[in-house]
Amino acid sequence: MLLSTVSLLLTSAVPSMVLLLVSLIRTPEWISGSGTLQTWRRTSVLAAATGFATAALFGVLVLVTHTMAILPVAVLTSISASLLGFVSVQSGWTDFRFRKADRWVLRTALLISALSSGIYMLAYRSETDLWLWLLIVLVSLVVFLIPAVGKSDARVITLVCLASLPVTGLWVFQFGFLLVAALSIIYSMSTTPKGSSIKDTLTRKVSVPMVPLIAAPFTLLCVVPVFM
């Protein structure tokens, strides 16, 4: 049990550290030219720490509440929570302030998640589950073709399909998007100018920072295996 826990903690640290290195090495131009480089670095370190802490907590909880046979689930839970936790915190600053998210962080997270979830689905899930997961991921890629959806938003939608669905299962996964919708509505309502009519509130255009509002709920849903 001790060896498994130590291995799990090490596994939990890797995804966040990789994303942190990508953030520091490939700092976006819109960060470098905005005078917020130090804040970017501190936020990235905080994101890495949050990703690791969330991943370690969820993964260890899975091990504590289940037998050793569920170790692969604990590992995947840690990796997914680490990736989504990092993206949630980092984009929670960049998307609210600049309405942007680091595309290289999202690309790297997509690659890591595709590898980890793909291996898990091939090795431990049924062929039906594998094909369902692949179908949903392919459907999520269609979002890239919708002009009204930003590339970062499309990337994070695909990321949650890759990372979260194998962990939560389809039934719980659906509720993640209900949480996203609820958070979006709350944000839109909270930014409505005082004294606005109902018509103005419903018809006005609102720029919503969707990347953290999508990533954060699915990060929390990664704890689902603890209760399975």
List pLDDT tens digits, range 90-145: 999 999 999 999 999 999 999 999 999 999 999 999 999 999 999 999 999 999 99
DSSP string covering the chain? -HHHHHHHHHHHHHHHHHHHHHHHHS--HHHHTTT-HHHHHHHHHHHHHHHHHHHHHHHHHHHHHS-GGGHHHHHHHHHHHHHHHHHHHHHHHHHHHHS---HHHHHHHHHHHHHHHHHHHHHHS-HHHHHHHHHHHHHHHGGGG-TTS-HHHHHHHHHHHHHTHHHH-HHHHHHHHHHHHHHHHHHHHHTSPTT--HHHHHHS-----HHHHHHHHHHHHTTGGGG-
pLDDT of residue 122: 96
Please say if the pLDDT value at position 17 is more than 70.
yes
List pLDDT tens digits, range 58-94: 999 998 888 766 889 999 999 999 999 999 999 999 9
Average pLDDT over residues 183-212: 73
List pLDDT tens digits, range 150-197: 899 999 999 999 999 999 999 999 999 999 999 988 888 777 766 555
List pLDDT tens digits, range 145-154: 988 888 999 9
Please say if the pLDDT value at position 222 is more than 90.
yes
